[in-house]
Structure 1
Amino acid sequence: MATQSGLTRRRGAGRSTGDASDGSRVTSPSPHNGSDNRVPETSFIGGENGHKIAFDPRDISESADKVKQPKLTLMEEVLLLGIKDKQGYYSFWNENISYALRGCIVIELAFRGRISMQKDSSRRRFPLADRVIEVIDDTLTGEVLLDEALKMMKSSEKMSVSSWIDLMSGETWNLMKIGYQLKQVRERLAKGLVDKGVLRTEKRNFLLFDMATHPVADSAAKDDLNKRPWSAQLMPLMFLKIASLR
């Protein structure tokens, strides 16, 4: 009888002043009324072998909020990191960004499984930048710059990673290959970010000329990028991805 009475008190059916003063005994909160629609702290779903898997429904809602953020390509993320938030343009002394963006195009195509290193055992002793790229899947990605680069790689002779980056950057003396240059990459990426609501377009006067600038419109998207440990995780991941294509 004593055990049954203690069980009853723990279930909250028979609260008393003495129960409240007993710190060793745990009592459950009073049941919610019918109008309370709060989400329970823990839910369960059926897993393999009939086992239940516990999860926090708040994680699902947080994931849904993150989905609202526009999905950006690697090129767009690099462009967004380098652009000045209020001014909406890059530093005039930053000339390496164009070359970096072409490299991001090659990496993005590799991430999406469109290109890989040519499986040639005789070239494995060469640095990764000197190894030949081949197209393994010519399915279009839906991104204009990526598809433009993919079509060129598909229709052209096979060339190395560094050669493709040079050609897409316009760094060549070969007049027959000058057409491989991807033009206005920064402006096209910026307009894509404007369409996604991350940037906005404004006009600024520089001396005697009007220039289109793209200040940050969605600060949350850039804040999310700044929180990532880029130098510690992303760059090694890029090199490991390229190395895995051997």
Structure 2
Amino acid sequence: MSITLAEEITLLSLDDESGEAKERQSAAWAVAGGILLELALAGRVSVAGGRLAVTDEDPTGEALLDGRLAAVAAWTGRRGRAPKVTEWLTKDQAKAPAATVARLCERGLVVEETRRVLGLFPVRRYPEADGAVERELRERLRAVVLDGAAPDERTAGLIALLHGAKLHRIAFPGEPRKQVAARMAELAEGRWAGEGVREAIRDMQAAMAAVTVVTIVAAAG
């Protein structure tokens, strides 16, 4: 089964048994970035000078991507000039995760459960229903990051997003973070895609790094 980068990030971030999202805020930015990167790889959007433009509104055939493509096209169309990538990510990181989880439910990879906290407040969780896709994903990441295999374009992009959002621990639980981060940084900076896609990655990494710093400062306060 072929799933999107956003869905791969979401699978990594959801606890298999409880269905609770780990590192929720950072993962949300990575999910929004994953959708945008996928659209860039598909030739539907472009990034130049840190600004985002829709270059082709034709559907990709993937419901999750097409829904977000329509949203970004409508949003950019209302603005006087091409918006910054960071503006779109700031807007979409609150919405993209829900759309992505819904797609995973449709595929039968996770199942939605509603539980009540303190017997009062309903909380949705998404435990694993079919673990085969996530197992293959983790094996592919391990082969590239830990074993030195050459990545394909999408896997390299996924690693760049995970590194930019500092999601090293959910991607490689139990592995030395310093070693993992160094290898992921090397892959993120590699020349595995065209300059437009690499620029999109750099902008997304900058946005995710900024929000991570804000989150840490807020937590410390």
TM-score by shorter chain over 0.5: yes
Taking the aligned partners of 1:107 and 1:242, their CA distance within structure 2 comes to 12
Q: Give the direction of change, closer, same or farther, for the CA distance of 1:199–1:209 in structure 2 (3 Å limit).
A: same
Q: Is the 8 A contact 2:46 2:53 kept in 1?
A: yes
SS for the counterpart of 1:200 is: coil
Contact 2:32 2:97 (8 Å CA) reproduced: no
The residue number in structure 2 matching 1:163 is 87
| TM-score, length-scaled by structure 1 | 0.54
Q: Which has the higher helix share?
A: 2
CA distance in 1, matches of 2:189, 2:14: 22
2:116 maps to which residue? 205
Q: CA RMSD, aligned part only?
A: 2.6
Aligned to 1:150: 73
Distance 2:31 2:190 in 1: 16
Do 2:46 and 2:196's aligned partners in 1 also have CA atoms closer than 8 Å?
no
Tell me what 1:132 maps to: 51
**Pairing 1:70-219 to 2, within 5 Å after superposition:** 71-91=2-22, 94-118=24-48, 123=49, 131-141=50-60, 142-143=63-64, 144-156=67-79, 157-169=81-93, 183=95, 185-207=96-118, 208-219=120-131
Which amino acid in structure 1 is aligned with residue 26 of structure 2?
Answer: N
- Matched residue SS, 1:229: helix
- Percent of pairs with identical residues: 24
5+ residue gaps, structure 1, are: 1-68, 124-130, 170-181
Counterparts of 1:47-62 in structure 2, within 5 Å, are none
1:165 shift after superposition? 1.5
Which range moved further: 75-84 or 134-143? 134-143
Alpha-carbon distance in 1 for matches of 2:21, 2:42: 28
CA distance in 2, matches of 1:167, 1:210: 25
**Residues in 2 aligned to 1:239 and 1:133: alpha-carbon distance in whole angstroms:** 22
Distance, in Å, in 1 between the alignment partners of 2:59 and 2:36 is 14
> Secondary structure in 1 aligned to 2:29?
helix
- 1:168–1:224 Cα change, 3 Å: same
Q: Which has the larger radius of gyration?
A: 1
Q: Which digits, 9 at most, give the CA deviation of each residue in 1:34-84, with x for residues without a partner?
A: xxxxxxxxxxxxxxxxxxxxxxxxxxxxxxxxxxx2x21111110011100
Residue type of the alignment partner of 1:147: A
SS in 2 for 1:159: coil
1:223 matched to 2:147: no
Structure-2-length-normalised TM-score? 0.59
Aligned residues: 152
Higher RCO (CA < 8 A, seq sep 6+): 2
Paired with 1:87 and 1:164, the residues of 2 have a C-alpha distance of: 31
Contact 1:203 1:210 in 2 (8 A): yes
Q: Distance in 2 between matches of 1:164 and 1:104?
A: 13
Distance 1:186 1:147, change over 3 A: same
> How many angstroms apart in 1 are the aligned matches of 2:75 and 2:194?
20
Deviation at 1:238, TM superposition (A): 8.5
